Structure 1
Amino acid sequence: MASPAPPPGLLRRRAASFGHALRGIGAALRSELHLQFHAVATAVVLGLGLYFRLRLSEWALVALAVAGVWAAELFNTAIETLTNLVSPDYHPLAGKAKDVAAGAVLLAALGALVVGALLFGPKIWLLLSR
């Protein structure tokens, strides 16, 4: 049995949604200093991974750690932006929302740091001890 054809314009709308997502990442990257720091850290980690010729399983851990930090930072940016919109004046609940979102980024970054230390630490130690 043949599958039904997608409704007209569905593929175009799906492609446009990727464009919206990329535009959002770009906007956050241009405006958020912490995300710029994560971009530099990502480039360094990718360079180290290529230099040390990580195994596929190690690349998978790096990819999950990097994606987790980027996703947390983007959620944090979205929450902060929306909070600023709906609560331009200080409100304790708005502050709590921002603090919790920032805490999520901190946990993701610490987790990525542990992954990086476990993967790259022994390789760097071996390189330096020669």
Structure 2
Amino acid sequence: MKDKEFSIIARVKSFKHAFNGLKLFFTNEHNGWVHLLAAVLAIALSLYLNLSTLEWIAIISAIAIVFAAEIFNSAVEKLADVVTSEINPQIKIVKDLAAAGVLVTAILAVLIGAIIFLPKLF
């Protein structure tokens, strides 16, 4: 494969595609809406509790990690559905593994939230 020269226009287009992916995720994926609602609630609570800089970093990082995992999971599911519409045991395993990745990050986010918010609330 021949290396292409650096192009500002190509870089701008890549950002356009990425932002389109975010738009698709938040408009078409129900789990995206659920995670967005959870993120808005976490941010509102963070503002209310006047978190420290490090606590904000932890909350924002947890939100970003969950979003990224859910976006990757959605991409895997869409790609698998293109490969075959029939039930396939190997594709089920791939989808289940991708979903497990989201679950792990969501559990992490809940634990981070509990560690930060619970002592401040009680």
Residue 27 of structure 2 is matched in structure 1 by 30
Among candidates 57, 73, 77, match of residue 76 of structure 1: 73
1:95-121 Cα deviation digits (max 9, x unpaired): 011000000000000000000000011
Please give the alpha-carbon distance, in whole angstroms, between the structure 2 residues aligned to 1:8 and 1:76.
Answer: 32
Please state if 1:100 is matched with 2:97: yes
Please give the alpha-carbon distance, in whole angstroms, between the structure 2 residues aligned to 1:31 and 1:63.
Answer: 23
| CA RMSD of superposed structures (Å) | 1.4
Residue 51 of structure 1 is matched in structure 2 by 48
Please give the alpha-carbon distance, in whole angstroms, between the structure 2 residues aligned to 1:86 and 1:42.
Answer: 32
Among candidates 47, 56, 59, match of residue 62 of structure 1: 59
Please state if 1:13 is matched with 2:10: yes
1:27-80 Cα deviation digits (max 9, x unpaired): 111111111000011111111111111111011111110111000000000000
Please give the alpha-carbon distance, in whole angstroms, between the structure 2 residues aligned to 1:53 and 1:12.
Answer: 41
TM-score, normalisation: structure 2:
0.93
Please give the alpha-carbon distance, in whole angstroms, between the structure 2 residues aligned to 1:54 and 1:87.
Answer: 47
Q: Secondary structure at the match of 2:112?
A: helix
Please give the alpha-carbon distance, in whole angstroms, between the structure 2 residues aligned to 1:55 and 1:98.
Answer: 38
Q: Secondary structure at the match of 2:103?
A: helix
Please state if 1:122 is matched with 2:111: no
Please give the alpha-carbon distance, in whole angstroms, between the structure 1 residues aligned to 2:62 and 2:35.
Answer: 11
May I ask how many residue pairs the two structures share in their alignment? 119
Aligned residue identity for 2:72: F
